């Protein structure tokens, strides 16, 4: 058994410590919002927050997470109420939608560090791959969410 803190809850996972966090979240905890894309941390569809940092969960073993706080897309707001989630919907960002939970998690982490990023800073920080190419809508949604978050 491995103890994890996921979305604010301490949970024991019946899995080997070398299991990738992605599979513990999806297969053991049923948190399927985090997606498997490439398995080598390149596409970042599997992005979650570990202590507030956007990290690809496919390459992190649960035994290495320790007491860190893990936040998945489900922990961000199941009802879609987070400003980034609302901006994604109003800006019609997703096309196929597969990479979007990872993109949203990366955007939230960026805005928590940098509440008013430039396009260049967004391009530098959001390295998730979107095969549909919705990058211009991603940038617009991040700016929209930043403005909403600054209003309070």
Q: Mean pLDDT of successive 10-residue segments in the chain (152 residues)?
A: 96 96 98 96 97 98 96 91 96 91 97 97 96 94 96 82
Backbone phi, psi, residue 30, to 5°: 70, 20
Backbone phi, psi, residue 105, to 5°: -65, -40
The total number of structural domains in the chain stands at 2
Which pLDDT belongs to residue 152? 73
Residues 70 and 7 in one domain: yes
Which pLDDT belongs to residue 77? 81
Cβ contact 108:86 at 8 Å: no
Among positive and negative, which fits the CA dihedral 33, 104, 89, 74?
positive
Residue 88 maps to which CATH number? 1.10.150.120
Residues 61 and 7 in one domain: yes
Which pLDDT belongs to residue 97? 86
Which structural domain, as residue segments, surrounds residue 130? 83-151
Residues 62 and 115 in one domain: no
Q: Which of 76, 104, 136 is the last residue of a domain?
A: 76
């Amino acid at each position: 058994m491995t103890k994890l803190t996921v979305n604010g809850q301490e949970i024991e996972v019946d899995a080997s410590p070398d299991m990738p966090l992605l599979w513990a979240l999806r297969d053991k905890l049923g948190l399927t919002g985090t997606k498997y894309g490439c398995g080598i941390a390149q596409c970042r569809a599997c992005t979650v927050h570990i202590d507030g940092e956007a990290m690809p969960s496919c390459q992190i073993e649960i035994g290495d997470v320790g007491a860190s706080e893990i936040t998945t897309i489900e922990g961000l707001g199941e009802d879609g109420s987070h400003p980034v989630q609302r901006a994604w919907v109003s800006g019609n960002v997703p096309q196929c939608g597969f990479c979007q939970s990872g993109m949203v998690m990366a955007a939230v982490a960026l805005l928590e560090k940098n509440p008013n990023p430039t396009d260049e800073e967004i391009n530098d920080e959001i390295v998730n791959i979107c095969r549909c190419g919705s990058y211009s809508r991603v940038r617009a949604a991040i700016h929209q969410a930043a403005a909403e978050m600054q209003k309070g």
